[in-house]
Every structure is written in structure tokens, then in C-alpha cells.
């Protein structure tokens, strides 16, 4: 019996680390990817920054959001909505994404992020590099526990 419980728990733990991410594309179709898919398809970027939720700086590594736009958006993409497991959402304009270069973090201090530690995906701005956005408006855009991205495009706006 203990063997079966351990086996079930190991499968559950593996699924937590390969959490799926649903991406709603500009044409209203959806795709689902996981962490491994993202790591195969994209180079990662890393930086250290302080965040208002922690006393110390942390090092984050993840997918540059500009690269997500290049891959999944189109010429008329103007924003991305990051949606969390608890249905919290924040929409970030392409202008802010280009200006402030956020990442969708996959690791914190070299470790994969679990849901209990704001993972599996967390939208992070580098507040040390851009102190002008260290305010409540931009803090609210740093969605954690992301499970869905919605790519907004003017081309298909009337269909939404």
C-alpha cells in the first residue's frame, strides 16, 4: 500500500513541476505548453532584483516576455494578459514590455518555483534596473501562479 501511495505522490509532484500554461492566441485559438516545451523553444534570461514581498533580492530566470510576443503574437499585438490560478489577472501593454523587459520567471534563486512559492510561472519586472516602476501599479502587474496568457491583437479585437 505504501508503494502505491508513494508512486501516486511521485506522479503528482512531477505534474506540479511540468505545470501547463494555456496561451490564447490572437485568432482566439488556444495552445497548451509546459515548462519543458518553453525551455526547448526559448532562451532564458536572468537577473537579480528586490521585490516588495521579500526583504532580500532574489535571482530570477525565465522567458523574456518580448520573445513570447514574437512567437505567439502578430504585428497588431498590443498587450498580454497574465492570468493566475486564482483568476487574478493583469494586462501589460507591449510598450511597457518593450520598455521594461520583464520575464516570465521559471526559477527563483536557481530552483523551480512551486505553486506554494508563487510558481510555476511569475511575471517579473527588474525593479533594481527600473526603479521608476517600483510602485503599486507595477507591483500589481507582477502576476504569480500564472496558468494562462491571453495575447491581445487589434486584428482580432472585434471577435473577443
- What is the band of 13 on the pLDDT scale with cuts at 50, 70, 90? very low
Buried b (16+ CB within 10 A) or exposed e, 3-34: eeeeeeeeeeeeeeeebebebbbbeeeeeeee
> Which residue, among 32, 49, 19, 42, has the nearest Cα to 112 in the 3D structure?
19
pLDDT for position 19: 84
Mean pLDDT across 82-87 = 96
Residue 118 is assigned to a structural domain of this protein: yes
Q: What is the DSSP letter of 36?
A: H
Residue 159 is assigned to a structural domain of this protein: no
Residue 158 is assigned to a structural domain of this protein: no
DSSP string, 79-146: EEEEEETTS-EEEEEHHHHHHH--EEEEEETTEEPPGGGT-S-EEE--TTT-GGG-SHHHHTT---SE
How many structural domains comprise the chain? 1
pLDDT for position 119: 86
pLDDT for position 7: 44
- Give the whole-angstrom CA distance, residue 44 versus residue 54: 23
pLDDT for position 11: 47
- Give the whole-angstrom CA distance, residue 12 versus residue 64: 28
pLDDT, tens digit (0-9, with 9 covering 90-100), for 16-74: 445 899 999 999 999 999 999 999 999 999 999 999 999 999 999 999 999 999 999 99
Residue 12 is assigned to a structural domain of this protein: no
Residue 13 is assigned to a structural domain of this protein: no
Residue 138 is assigned to a structural domain of this protein: yes
Q: What is the pTM of this model?
A: 0.85
CATH of the domain at 47: 3.90.420.10
Average pLDDT, the chain: 89
Of 12-26, 84-98, 120-134, least confident by mean pLDDT is 12-26
- What is the band of 15 on the pLDDT scale with cuts at 50, 70, 90? very low
Residue bearing cell 534563486: 109
- Give the whole-angstrom CA distance, residue 32 versus residue 14: 17
- What is the band of 124 on the pLDDT scale with cuts at 50, 70, 90? very high
pLDDT for position 87: 95
Residues in the chain: 160
Q: What is the DSSP letter of 159?
A: G
Print the domain residue range for 128: 23-152
- What is the band of 141 on the pLDDT scale with cuts at 50, 70, 90? very high
Residue 145 is assigned to a structural domain of this protein: yes
Amino acid at each position: 500500500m505504501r508503494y502505491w501511495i508513494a508512486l501516486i505522490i511521485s506522479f503528482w509532484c512531477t505534474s506540479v513541476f511540468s505545470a501547463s500554461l494555456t496561451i490564447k492566441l490572437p485568432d482566439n485559438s488556444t495552445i497548451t505548453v509546459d515548462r519543458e516545451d518553453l525551455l526547448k523553444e526559448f532562451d532564458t534570461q536572468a537577473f537579480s532584483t528586490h521585490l516588495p514581498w521579500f526583504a532580500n533580492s532574489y535571482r530570477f530566470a525565465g522567458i523574456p516576455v518580448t520573445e513570447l510576443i514574437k512567437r505567439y503574437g502578430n504585428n497588431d499585438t498590443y498587450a498580454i494578459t497574465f492570468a493566475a490560478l486564482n483568476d487574478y489577472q493583469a494586462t501589460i501593454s507591449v510598450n511597457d514590455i518593450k520598455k521594461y523587459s520583464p520575464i516570465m520567471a521559471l526559477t527563483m534563486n536557481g530552483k523551480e518555483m512551486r505553486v506554494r512559492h508563487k510558481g510555476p510561472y511569475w511575471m517579473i519586472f527588474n525593479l533594481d534596473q527600473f526603479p521608476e516602476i517600483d510602485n503599486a501599479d507595477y507591483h500589481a502587474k507582477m502576476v504569480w501562479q500564472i496558468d494562462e496568457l491571453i495575447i491581445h491583437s487589434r486584428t482580432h479585437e472585434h471577435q473577443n
